[in-house]
């Protein structure tokens, strides 16, 4: 069965600190997709990134970077030089290509960036 | 294209009443999803459409919940005989096979009193 675990319930950092959000997943499929979403206080889920299971190349986008490691079933998200606007709940999600199309979300990590 | 649109944004209803929510996906997105989110939790899958066909339905979805997507365009989610436990944010999302990431609407917040 598919499962996503985000062990960190809440994280608080001071502005300009780096912070890493952990995500560990379980899947029965050989082809799957991993995602990160941001949910700011306004409530709308905002798509950040998708990773395909066959592409382990790490990615950097501005202050955001993602580390995908199949060997440990992890897909961690790092924010460099955090800003107050990064304060939100961040969700990791998994979708299996061959066992249905629904997305399974982790419980989320609430990030608070203090000025 | 204005993204996924949901209506209404907020709904307050008395226990026992029926409610219906509407979702308009991103045009040309053939996949449509309904999720439910309660406070402090991640979104929980309810059902999935590919075009007009409802292909997946969560086992958690009781018989009081029904969803439709006539003609493969907009979708409706109806809850009959609402209960207080139905109070939640109901989220709609859409995607395509080529771009499997789901784009979410702003949600409909349901409060059952």
Tell me: cis bond preceding A51? Omega within 30 of 0 counts. no
State the nearest Cα–Cα gap between A17 and chain B, in angstroms: 25
Tens of pLDDT, residue by residue over B45-92, are 999 999 999 998 998 788 999 999 998 899 999 999 999 999 999 999
Cα–Cα distance, B113 to B107 (Å, whole number) = 19
C-alpha angle B46-B37-B47 in degrees, rounded to nearest 5: 10
Q: Are A6 and A92 in contact (CB under 8 A)?
A: yes
Task: For residue B2, list chain A residues with Cβ-Cβ distance below 8 A.
Answer: none
Cα separation values, B101 from B18, B62, B93, Å: 32, 27, 9
Task: Tell me the three state secondary structure of residue B71.
Answer: helix
- Indicate yes or no: CB of B48 within 8 angstroms of CB of A100: yes
SS3 per-residue string spanning A15-73 = CCCCEEECCEEECCCCCEEEEEEEECCCCCCEEEEEEECCCCCCEEECCEEEEEEHHHC
Which residue from B42, B50, B89 is facing A91, i.e. has the nearest CB?
B42
Q: Do B33 and A91 touch (CB under 8 A)?
A: no
> Average pLDDT in the B24-39 region?
94
Q: Give the per-residue pLDDT at B72.
A: 85
CB atoms within 10 A of CB B25: 28
Query: Chains A and B: how many Cβ contacts under 8 Å?
Result: 60
pLDDT score for A100? 65
A47 contacts B101? CB cut-off 8 A: yes
Residue A99 has a pLDDT of: 66
What Rg, from alpha-carbon coordinates, does chain B have? 13
What average pLDDT does this structure show over B92-107?
90
* Nearest residue in A to B4, CA atom: A44
Q: What is the pLDDT along chain A (115 residues), one digit of tens a residue?
A: 789 999 999 999 999 999 999 999 999 888 999 999 999 988 899 999 999 898 877 888 899 999 999 999 999 999 999 999 999 999 999 998 876 678 899 999 999 999 9
> Which residues does chain A have within 8 Å of residue B44's beta carbon, measured at their own beta carbons?
105
Beta strands, E only, chain B: 5-7, 10-13, 19-24, 31-37, 44-50, 53-57, 65-68, 75-79, 88-95, 103-104, 108-112
pLDDT digits (tens, 9 = 90+) for B3-29: 999 999 999 999 999 999 999 999 989
Tell me if A100 and B56 make a contact (CB, 8 A cut-off).
yes
Residues in chain B closer than 8 A to A33 (CB atoms): 100-101
Q: Give the CA diameter of chain A.
A: 45
> With bands split at pLDDT 50, 70 and 90, how would you rate the model's confidence at B1?
low
């Amino acid at each position: 069965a598919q499962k996503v675990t985000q062990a960190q319930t809440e994280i608080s950092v001071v502005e300009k600190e780096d912070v890493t959000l952990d995500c560990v997943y379980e899947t029965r499929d050989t082809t799957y997709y991993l995602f990160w979403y941001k949910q700011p206080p306004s409530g709308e889920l905002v798509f950040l990134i998708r990773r395909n299971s066959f592409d382990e190349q790490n990615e950097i986008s501005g202050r955001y970077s993602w580390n995908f490691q199949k060997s440990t079933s992890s897909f961690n998200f790092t924010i460099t030089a955090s800003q107050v606007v990064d304060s939100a709940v961040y969700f990791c999600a998994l979708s299996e290509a061959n066992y249905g199309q629904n997305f399974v979300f982790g419980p989320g990590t609430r990030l608070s960036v203090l000025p | 294209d204005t993204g996924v649109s949901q209506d209404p944004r907020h709904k307050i209803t008395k226990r026992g009443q029926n409610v219906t929510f509407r979702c308009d996906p991103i045009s040309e997105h053939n996949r449509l999803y309904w999720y439910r989110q309660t406070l402090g939790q991640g979104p929980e899958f309810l059902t999935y459409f590919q075009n007009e066909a409802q292909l997946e339905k969560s086992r958690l979805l009781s018989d009081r919940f029904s969803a439709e997507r006539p003609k493969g365009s907009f979708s409706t989610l109806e809850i009959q005989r609402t209960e207080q436990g139905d109070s939640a944010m109901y989220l709609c999302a859409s995607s395509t096979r080529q771009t499997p990431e789901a784009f979410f609407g702003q949600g409909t917040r349901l409060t059952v009193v």
